[in-house]
């Protein structure tokens, strides 16, 4: 930290002057004269001796700002011999607009410096800090742009400015495909309903055959296959000499199958015309309890810090899921590469709501489809702010400008202006109507079942012919 330095200079006229080295001043720039006086005691103040030098910096002040590319900020590299690596990094995005506002208000210029690992920064198990947080902690930069979520580990390494916003963490998941399932003709009934129908069909057919053989002393009667005929809506004939119990059983079976077939037809029509798109993941617990889904968290971000530090509870369960391959850290800019896995419900993203909203809106702008949704649960919330070095007076000066910026609504305006179609998929329906005709690709399962039935019937026919020929001999 720079402090005032006063230098007395004696001249032949017995005059002296006071000088100050301004904070963040470039090397080689002359100090600023603040006062002069004579031996007779005449004092001339060119400016107050103890004014707030951080409220308005010198125009020669250049701050080094930590920043990293993400889904909302694009990075450009330009050759510059004066830069440390011969390359000057530039960013474009709404936080750069915030930085320009602060630079104009505090009267400084700036240069960006990226973190070596390309992350926001967390506290590792060995006590070191990574990413931009580590840059500020090691005093490699003056402050980090971010914005950064305020949590206890980061407070150990940096000082936070006044928050710019409050953001909650949610789950981004996929609604599934709207394509018609080729096996959709079996979906009107659940597995247990199909099993019960087949079990009753087999039980009634075998029982009727045995009873008919016992009481009529004949071979298997045709009524034994009447249950199958009724199920397939074929004609049924019952002889005059038949037993009343057979008529009662057939009548009850006919009534039940009529209800079942009508229900099947109605549900099948609904499934073909109106698709239900479930949204199964509404809480973090729903995600953790599903062993088939992979959780994607921001690599070395603040939400990931909660997982690293967890010793119990649901975040500890998330940490243990890494052993099963269900926890995948990923940088922000790589989220767009896994959206297909999200839509097919193989993965979910857990991050701040604004990050997920931007990811969803970018997908809608590119495809015009609302295949992604945000879960209802707010897992936890963090205030977001800029970070500076510990005990840096620059943090107080920046905080004063941030307060005026947020009170004027500028941050909200700049933030929302960079999210196109942010509300396009805010209320996605769980049911949609499909008016297009079915294609062969959507009906191949029914054709496979038909061909399979024909093959079984043909094989049975040849088997019967062979049996008749053998028994005839």
pLDDT at 1: 36
Strand ranges in 271-422 using DSSP code E only, listed in sequence order: 274-276, 294-298, 327-330, 347-352, 372-374, 381-388
* Residues 148/73, Cβ–Cβ less than 8 Å: no
Residue 22 falls within a domain, yes or no?
yes
Q: Who wins on pLDDT, 430 or 120?
A: 120
Residue 311 falls within a domain, yes or no?
no
Q: What is the mean pLDDT of the chain?
A: 79
Q: Is a pLDDT exceeding 50 seen at residue 47?
A: yes
pLDDT at 217: 44
Compute the 3-state secondary structure of the chain and give helix, strand, coil in percent, each to the nearest 5: 45, 20, 35
Q: Distance between CA 178 and CA 183 in Å, rounded? A: 14
Q: Who wins on pLDDT, 234 or 146?
A: 146
Domain that holds residue 31: 1-53
Residue 30 falls within a domain, yes or no?
yes
pLDDT tens figures, 190-219: 788 888 888 887 887 777 666 666 555 444
Structure tokens at 23: 């904070």
Structure tokens at 461: 């026919």
Q: Is a pLDDT exceeding 70 seen at residue 359?
A: yes
Residue (of 298, 285, 466) closest to 382 by Cα position: 298
Phi then psi for residue 410, to 5 deg, are -70, -40
pLDDT at 430: 62
Contacts of 291 (CB under 8 A, 6+ apart): 324, 326
Burial class (CB in 10 A: 0-12, 13-18, 19+), 68: buried
Residue 176 falls within a domain, yes or no?
no
What is each CA distance from 431 to 204, 213, 352, 435, in whole angstroms? 39, 53, 27, 13
Structure tokens at 195: 């099993």
Residue 5 falls within a domain, yes or no?
yes
Residue 47 falls within a domain, yes or no?
yes
What is each CA distance from 71 to 16, 209, 244, 361, 444, in whole angstroms? 57, 70, 76, 11, 41
Percent of the chain past pLDDT 90, that is, above it, reads: 14
pLDDT at 364: 87
To the question of pTM greater than 0.85 for the whole model, the response is: no
Q: Distance between CA 298 and CA 333 in Å, rounded? A: 10
pLDDT at 294: 92
- List alpha helices for 274-392, DSSP H: 284-288, 302-309, 313-320, 339-343, 353-367
Q: Average pLDDT for residues 382-394, to the nearest whole number? A: 90
Q: Who wins on pLDDT, 190 or 347?
A: 347
Residue (of 210, 419, 187, 173) closest to 287 by Cα position: 173
Residue 26 falls within a domain, yes or no?
yes
Neighbouring CB atoms inside 10 A of 406's CB total 15
> What's the chain's length in residues?
473
Structure tokens at 339: 């959206």
Q: Average pLDDT for residues 47-76, to the nearest whole number? A: 76
Q: Is a pLDDT exceeding 90 seen at residue 237?
A: no
What is each CA distance from 103 to 28, 55, 67, 93, 112, in whole angstroms? 22, 11, 15, 15, 13
Among 105-119, 121-135, 266-280, the range scoring the smallest mean pLDDT is 266-280
* Residues 212/223, Cβ–Cβ less than 8 Å: yes
pLDDT tens figures, 173-192: 988 665 566 666 777 777 88
Q: Average pLDDT for residues 325-349, to the nearest whole number? A: 88
pLDDT at 220: 44
Structure tokens at 180: 């018609």
Angle between helices 410-417 and 94-106 (to 10 degrees): 150
Angle between helices 244-273 and 191-216 (to 10 degrees): 160
Q: Distance between CA 239 and CA 252 in Å, rounded? A: 18
pLDDT at 349: 92
pLDDT tens figures, 266-325: 777 766 666 666 788 889 999 999 999 999 998 877 888 888 888 888 999 998 988 888
Phi then psi for residue 51, to 5 deg, are -80, 165
Count of structural domains, the chain:
1
pLDDT tens figures, 392-430: 888 888 998 999 999 999 998 888 888 777 777 777 666
What is each CA distance from 468 to 22, 457, 460, in whole angstroms? 111, 16, 12
Q: Is a pLDDT exceeding 60 seen at residue 347?
A: yes
Confidence of residue 3 (pLDDT cuts 50, 70, 90): very low
* Residues 388/395, Cβ–Cβ less than 8 Å: yes
Residue 48 falls within a domain, yes or no?
yes
């Amino acid at each position: 930290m720079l402090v005032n330095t006063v230098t007395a200079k004696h001249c032949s006229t017995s005059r002296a002057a006071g000088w100050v080295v301004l904070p963040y001043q470039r090397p080689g720039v002359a100090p600023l004269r603040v006062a002069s006086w004579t031996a007779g005691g005449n004092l001339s103040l060119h400016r107050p001796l103890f004014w707030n030098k951080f409220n308005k910096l010198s125009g020669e002040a250049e701050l080094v700002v930590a920043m990293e590319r993400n889904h909302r900020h694009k990075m450009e590299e330009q050759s510059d011999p004066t830069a440390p690596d011969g390359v000057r990094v530039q960013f474009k995005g709404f936080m750069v607009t915030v930085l320009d506002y602060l630079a104009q208000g505090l009267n400084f210029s700036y240069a960006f410096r990226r973190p070596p690992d390309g992350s926001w920064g967390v506290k590792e198990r060995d006590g070191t800090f990574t990413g931009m947080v580590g840059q500020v902690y090691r005093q490699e930069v003056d402050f980090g742009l971010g914005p950064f979520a305020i949590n206890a580990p980061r407070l150990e390494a940096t000082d936070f400015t006044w928050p710019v916003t409050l953001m909650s963490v949610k789950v981004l998941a996929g609604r599934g495909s709207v394509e018609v399932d080729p096996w959709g003709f079996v979906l009107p009934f659940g597995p247990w309903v199909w099993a019960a129908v087949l079990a009753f069909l087999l039980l009634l057919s075998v029982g009727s055959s045995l009873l008919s053989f016992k009481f009529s002393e004949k071979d298997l009667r045709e009524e034994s296959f009447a249950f199958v005929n009724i199920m397939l809506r074929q004609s049924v004939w019952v002889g005059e000499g038949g037993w009343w119990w057979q008529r009662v059983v057939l009548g009850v079976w006919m009534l039940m199958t009529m209800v079942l077939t009508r229900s099947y037809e109605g549900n099948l029509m609904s499934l073909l015309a109106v698709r239900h798109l479930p949204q199964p993941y509404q809480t973090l617990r729903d995600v953790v309890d599903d062993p088939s889904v992979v959780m994607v968290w921001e690599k070395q971000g603040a939400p990931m810090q909660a997982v690293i530090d967890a010793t119990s509870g649901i975040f500890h369960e998330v940490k243990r899921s890494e052993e099963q391959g269900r926890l995948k850290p990923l940088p922000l800019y790589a989220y767009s590469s896994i959206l297909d896995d999200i839509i097919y419900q193989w993965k979910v993203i857990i991050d701040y709501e604004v990050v997920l909203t931007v990811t969803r809106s970018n997908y809608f702008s590119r495809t015009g489809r609302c295949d992604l949704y945000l879960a209802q649960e707010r897992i936890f919330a963090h205030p977001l702010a800029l970070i500076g070095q510990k005990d840096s007076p620059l943090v107080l000066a920046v905080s004063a400008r941030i307060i005026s910026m947020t009170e004027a609504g500028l941050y909200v305006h700049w933030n929302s202006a960079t999210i196109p179609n942010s509300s396009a998929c805010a209320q996605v329906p769980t049911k949609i109507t499909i008016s297009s005709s079915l294609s062969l690709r959507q009906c191949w399962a029914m054709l496979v079942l038909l061909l399979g039935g024909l093959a079984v019937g043909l094989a049975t026919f040849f088997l019967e012919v062979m049996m008749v020929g053998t028994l005839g001999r």
